[in-house]
Amino acid sequence: MAYLADFFTEINSLNISLQGNETNILTLQDKIASFLRKLELYQRRVQAGDVSMFTQLSEQLVNNKQEKISFENSVVQHLTAVIDSLQQYFPNMDSRESYSWILRPFSTCVDIFKDEDVSAKVEFLGLRENNSLKVDFQNDKLSTFWRKAAAEYPIIADRALKMLIPFATTYRCETVSTTTISRIVPEVCSVLFEELCHFIQVPTVPNGWKKIANYCNNLWNFPMCLGSMDGKHIVIQSPKFSGSCQGRISDGGVFKNSGFAKALDKSMLNFPQPTILPGRQKPVPYVLVADDAFPLSENILKPFAGNQDRGSRQRIFNYRLSRARRVVENAFGILASVFRCLRKPMLLEPEKVEKITMACVTLHNFLRRNAQAKDLYTPPGSFDAEDLELGTLTEGAWRKDSEVLQSFLPIKKVARKSSYIAKEIRDEFSEYFVSEIGQDPME
């Protein structure tokens, strides 16, 4: 117990040193490397029979030499295990020297930059001769200094600032009131949406929609498809002054009352003009694919109802549509799997719920389109994968999430009477899918 008390005093000291303002990956690496060197020194001293660095243990063993020898072996074994674990968690500590120029720009040799990195090396040479910035380096915080340097030396300053992004720490969390947090979170979400809103924009011209249609056709063998649709209910607390109705709307009215549905109904989305499917004769409009929660319309296709005979055009159509809809199923599934706040009721006012939800959606799209973050956000196995030769489907990792959803619930399927024109359009697609040109050899 005495040894553990001494050891955890060291661990706590390290933990405290890792907290605070201006913490970044470089300063943290230095402190962890220093702690590793300290443990290695302690290990050597204990092997030499010296446990004086562990004050409480030393006091317990001072009059018992036999027990001291026995316990020293246990301490050495424990320190060895701790050092090995830390080295596994932080395997590349020696590489931090390659970033010494960020911490010590005026004393680091310019040869730290490779000759092939010409632009950065030229900027670093100029920085080292800048007497004004030398004064700033002595007087300013490191991050402030590099922000000033960015005006004249953008390449190396950008690299430095990426390494100096402060780590979020929790040591002050208990001093922040719930009221303050409830104000900060919506504000941050609003800023995220404002800065990233271009990641959820839809095309505004026909050619933009046609690019999506070509992508869907190449990927899913579904021509003239402009995307897949789905909807989710986010459960919230009853809004203030809502009375007994609580602002409810039927599942059938959710989509109908949306801005997107109204724009679609009024032909305000600039879809391409109807055209003829390959090998067919009747023009059909470009469409979105959806499930039974949505109405069958001129621009929305949904499955044929009921069980269809194997090999029938209705069953083949349902398979093609289901395959094309996996995009949105996977998108919503991963969204709820990562952003866990969506899985439970939000005890907030509708305005705040909207800000949080839009922030989650924009972050999802941003991470999926960012080359560096893409594979971290959705590593291999995240999405459903179909083996067309074997006819098997491997479910994405998000489907294995065992937590029961209390929010982000699917919109219920609603029976609706479809127009004759909408049924004719669906029939035209189904006929195309069984035609010689439109059939899929893997079906």
Cα–Cα distance between 171 and 155 in angstroms, integer? 34
Instruction: Find tokens 């079906």 and name the residue.
Output: 443
E-strand stretches of 218-277: 225-228, 232-233, 275-276
pTM tops 0.75, yes or no:
no
DSSP string, 266-324: TT-S-PPPPEEPTT--SEE--EEE--TTS---SSEE-PPSS---TT-HHHHHHHHHHHH
Please give the pLDDT value at position 90: 76
Please give the pLDDT value at position 244: 56
pLDDT in tens, 396-443: 999 988 777 888 888 877 777 889 999 999 999 999 999 999 998 766
Q: How far is CA 272 from the centre of its chain?
A: 33
* Res. 21 pLDDT band, cuts 50 70 90: low
Q: Is 112 helix (H, G, I), strand (E, B) or coil?
A: helix
Cα distance from N-terminal residue to C-terminal residue, the chain: 68
pLDDT in tens, 221-240: 999 999 999 999 999 988 87
Residue 312 is encoded by which pair of tokens? 């029938």
Looking at 48-177, list the stretches that DSSP marks H as alpha helix, in order from N- to C-terminal side: 55-61, 65-89, 100-103, 118-128, 131-139, 142-149, 154-163
pLDDT in tens, 95-153: 667 888 998 899 999 888 888 889 999 999 999 999 999 999 999 888 889 999 999 99
